[in-house]
Amino acid sequence: MNRRRLIRAAGLMLALAPMTDRAPLRSRHTQGSPRRELGPEMAAFKQLDILVHDVSLEIGAAAKALDRCAAISSYQRMIEGCFDCHSTYKERVAAAL
């Protein structure tokens, strides 16, 4: 597989990864729930999830268009989103599951 196809495939695989529910937040809180653990921070958590998903689609589109600069820029934004989310929420969400 050539590099362009590999980058596009990776971007699309990330885009297909399960996301948090994009529906409006509900007040439903259950024991052992990330929603309960994060409380009012759930909206920020969801925004990071949406960012990573959307930027992964940009990576796939940039690779398809052979736009190396756009792919690299989108990749950097995606990694920053991953790092921000994991450094802020990973331990708390994992403990709630």
How many Cα atoms occupy the beta-carbon half-sphere of 55 within 13 Å?
Answer: 19
HEC string of the chain equals CCHHHHHHHHHHHHHHCCCCCCCCCCCCCCCCCHHHHHHHHHHHHHHHHHHHHHHHHHHHHHHHCCCHHHHHHHHHHHHHHHHHHHHHHHHHHHHHC
Q: What is the pLDDT along the chain (97 residues), one digit of tens a residue?
A: 577 676 666 666 666 666 665 544 444 444 568 888 999 999 999 999 999 999 999 998 998 898 999 999 999 999 999 999 999 999 999 888 8
